[in-house]
Amino acid sequence: MPPRYAFILNPYQDVRLTKCPQCDQPTRLRKFALLIHVDQFGLMIHGKTCRFCPPCDLLIVHQDELEAQLTEHLSQIAPNVIGNEYLVTGTVERKTWRRGLREELPLDEMQEHAADFETVLQLEYEPGGWYPAG
């Protein structure tokens, strides 16, 4: 599928981004199925409630929340890879992901319904506020 969404992985625990760093509108909570590559494991799909700005099509994930949930998730399927490097590469269509929760779906079928992020932004601190880099 074609790339979708701009993405920010927020490393700052004291910044919760209830307002969009790009347009300053309130962000909403929306659940996404994230496609994540974990070193020495491969691709996994992880359901996560994220901050989302509809006008910007911007998806924001708090790194501390994600890592706590990933640890929980991986402890059930692959405890040996907990703590490995990982990369959030994109999203999977929700209806495909939900189907995958009910029945065994091969990963390549999930990938057919996956989209890479269109852009990945870094959040950087500048005096006076938080802005996406670039």
Q: Are 124 and 131 in contact (CB under 8 A)?
A: yes
In the complex, the smallest distance separating the C-beta of residue 96 from Zn ion, rounded to whole angstroms, is: 26
Of 22 and 111, the one with the shorter C-beta distance to Zn ion is: 22
**Phi–psi pair at 103, nearest 5 degrees:** -135, 160
In the complex, the smallest distance separating the C-beta of residue 12 from Zn ion, rounded to whole angstroms, is: 18
Of 39 and 124, the one with the shorter C-beta distance to Zn ion is: 124
Q: Which own/partner pairs from 105-109 qualify as long-range (CB within 8 Å, at least 24 positions apart)?
A: 107/42, 107/43
Which residues are near Zn ion by CB under 5 A? 20, 22-23, 53, 56
Of 15 and 105, the one with the shorter C-beta distance to Zn ion is: 15
In the complex, the smallest distance separating the C-beta of residue 27 from Zn ion, rounded to whole angstroms, is: 7
Task: Please tell me whether residue 17 adopts helix, strand or coil conformation.
Answer: coil
